[in-house]
Chains A and B, each alone.
Chain A
């Protein structure tokens, strides 16, 4: 593989390193630096694209704007502010819980796993979200990096002594206090964590608190690692 080919591959998939590319990078410092630059750029591209386009305005409305009196304009601005506040304050506080449940229901195969996920595979999935998981008393039988609310989050299923419990590590979802919910036959809780929150769900509420607490202690951001 020559440098042009290596850079084409890095530019196309900055996070992917085939064996052939890895061999080239070992012997080519310039391409290795190029990859570092592209990985850094990629993080910014993700940030740029992930931001929800909340501020974009309807195209047609923009062109249909007509002259209004100052009072009418002020009143519309006030109404818009009030409407925004109303939407914000009336937003169901458990919408996060609902989305967590909807996400878990949409991944039914996660409950069918029986074998423990290999440490390497688990580490890879956690790394994608910048998370490190310390020791827990549970075996992880399912691990997936899932797109949730604009971010990749680790979706795990752990086996406790009694049952399977789903764990979503939500580094970008802050909650002020512990929330519990029951929906679609699932019991769950979302607890605050050092960064964001952790959601735990199971078919019964037994052990959910234990799992949540173990995970809260075991999860840390990659930047916090020693």
Chain B
């Protein structure tokens, strides 16, 4: 395998003050978002140690590509996208090593469920048990603030398919509250 070219070798102390300040700012910016990224990764992976690895790797990738971040106002969405892609890469590489649904609900799930009222506890458990194809768009929408179109673009799906997945995710959660699930007339999802 070919080694990638060496990255920047200039240490930040060698940089002119303006660039050093810019680097400090972006470091602070990334660090300030770490809790958000970790929460997002944890809901995706359902495993604390994997989530931490995903976030660490994502921040490294983000730092290497920081020049691509033209608008700092978009940094949150940009970083969350990197986390999601890193998780997807990991999922493809280690598909079978990820914890099972039962493990997730018993271990990481129970950790997530601690110190809260029972209604939200039950809901967290149900979210954790959602299959990834429903959990991922739901987390992207609710935690990440992504629009349906952005989720569609990121997941390589049609907007209609994303709407269907989001509907089905919430429809499954309705059952927890003793609500009747809405009729699912959407049939199979539309392809991208």
**Hey, which chain B residues are within 8 Å of A34, CB to CB?**
182
In the bound assembly, the distance between CA atoms of A77 and B99 in angstroms comes to 27
A-side interface mostly: helix
Q: Give the interface residue-count category, chain B.
A: 35 or more
**Hey, which chain A residues are within 8 Å of B123, CB to CB?**
44-45, 47-48
**Hey, which chain A residues are within 8 Å of B85, CB to CB?**
none
B-side interface mostly: helix
Q: Is B59 an interface residue (CB 8 A)?
A: no
The answer to whether A53 and B148 touch across the interface, beta carbons within 8 angstroms, is no
In the bound assembly, the distance between CA atoms of A11 and B171 in angstroms comes to 7
**Hey, which chain A residues are within 8 Å of B167, CB to CB?**
7-9, 11-12
The answer to whether B111 and A50 touch across the interface, beta carbons within 8 angstroms, is no
How far does the Cβ of A46 sit from chain B's closest Cβ, in whole Å? 6
In the bound assembly, the distance between CA atoms of A59 and B35 in angstroms comes to 19
In the bound assembly, the distance between CA atoms of A98 and B28 in angstroms comes to 9
With A44-B119, A47-B120 already in contact, the answer to whether A102 and B29 are too (CB < 8 A) is: yes
The B108-125 residues at the A interface (CB cut-off 8 A) are 108, 111-112, 114-116, 119-120, 123-124
With A11-B167, A55-B112 already in contact, the answer to whether A4 and B139 are too (CB < 8 A) is: no
In the bound assembly, the distance between CA atoms of A8 and B187 in angstroms comes to 11
In the bound assembly, the distance between CA atoms of A119 and B142 in angstroms comes to 26
Known contacts A12-B166, A49-B139, A105-B29; 7 additional CB pairs below 8 A are: A42-B142, A49-B142, A53-B48, A59-B50, A106-B73, A147-B76, A149-B35
The answer to whether B111 and A56 touch across the interface, beta carbons within 8 angstroms, is yes
The answer to whether A4 and B173 touch across the interface, beta carbons within 8 angstroms, is no
Interface size on A, residues (CB 8 A): 45
Give A residues with C-beta under 8 Å from B: 4-5, 7-9, 11-14, 34, 37-38, 41-42, 44-53, 55-62, 98-99, 102-103, 105-109, 147, 149-150, 184
In the bound assembly, the distance between CA atoms of A4 and B163 in angstroms comes to 13
